[in-house]
Structure 1
Amino acid sequence: MAAERAKKTEKKELEPYRSKGRLLPFEQMEGMFEDFFRRPFGRPWWHAAPLPKWFEGIEPSPSVDIFEEKDMVVVKSELPGMTKDDIAVNLGDGTITLSGEKKKEEKVEKNNYYRHERSYGSFSRTFTLPAEVQTDKAKASFKNGVLEVKIPKTEEARKKTKKIEIE
């Protein structure tokens, strides 16, 4: 009988508790740090698993499309949450640089608590343009979170384009 009791009261190791509550973002961040230090030179960070929900709206680098139309070079970039005042476009020496900065500050004062949150993000991307352009005639527009820059090609660049017949 004593042997049976000893078996019943045998100690078992406890498994670590993983909360699914309010501390979840911190647990996810801890996991990200552990992954980084396990293999710091593994996959680039932009190929990592999707960012946690609390990173929503923060884009490490905006997507940019650059293409040629008949007589111009067009640059488009999706910049959700930004205004035209947050963005700068610079042309020079065959390149275009898109940059932006967004700051957000929120204060909440209630009877029994005070919260003051700040967030900040910026980006800068420079690209070589696919053709010679007339920088003085460039036009930019920003509508519904999409920046579009249209830059006319130089006369020389237009002449260099030759249509090739397919046999």
Structure 2
Amino acid sequence: MTPTLTPWKTDMTPMADRFASRGNDPFLALHGGMNRLFDEVLRDFGMTGSWPHVDITDKDDEIVVEAELPGMEEKDVEVMLRDGVLTLRGERKDERSDEGHRVTERFRGQFERHIPLGAEIDEDKVSAQFANGELRITLPKAESEAPEAKKIEVKRAA
């Protein structure tokens, strides 16, 4: 088979198998190196998307935010609520060396995630629990009286 510069083929061979079959292709090595470089630079600027991934459930009386933080402990995570925005901040550390890894896709380093809530929260009743790498934050909605609707008479312009 003749090597090509395109990373796809017309058959259904998995991508990893296609790359492995090319051996020490310098273009493939360059491609992988550039991907890792951009991933690391963007991660340093907090632009790698929205890790950690969260599930947000908006119920009648509360908002529940669940975040998966595998490999972390509660002491590694900081949760803050300010001006209707929930902030998750922390750091995942890895004591292992990168030596010998061909590719590593595990995230480590600092993260910060801002989640606008869109509701008035009773800040005194907010709670957060952490167990088995899962963070669950319960944010009770503040009880506020809904303003009464006022009918406004429409007049003919003069």
Unmatched segments (≥5 aa) in structure 2: 5-17, 40-48, 102-106, 147-158
1:104 shift after superposition:
1.9
Cα separation, 2, equivalents of 1:100 and 1:133: 23
Residue 32 of structure 1: aligned partner: 32
Residue 70 of structure 2: aligned partner: 80
1:78 shift after superposition:
1.1
1:27 shift after superposition:
7.5
Unmatched segments (≥5 aa) in structure 1: 1-13, 46-58, 108-114, 161-167
TM-score normalised per structure 1: 0.53
What SS class does the counterpart of residue 130 from structure 1 fall into? Answer: coil
1:105 correspondence with 2:118: no
Higher strand share: 1
Deviation by residue 1:7-32 (Cα, 9 ceiling, x = unmatched):
xxxxxxx979x9949x97x9855213
TM-score normalised per structure 2: 0.56
2:128 to 140, 146, 156: 140
Residue 129 of structure 1: aligned partner: 117
Instruction: Compute the RMSD of aligned alpha carbons.
Output: 3.9
Cα separation, 2, equivalents of 1:60 and 1:130: 18
| Preserved contact between residue 57 and residue 65 of structure 2 (Cα < 8 Å) | yes
- Percentage of pairs with the same residue: 35
Higher helix share: 1
| Preserved contact between residue 64 and residue 78 of structure 1 (Cα < 8 Å) | yes
The number of residues matched between the two structures is: 114
Larger Rg, first or second structure (1 or 2): 1
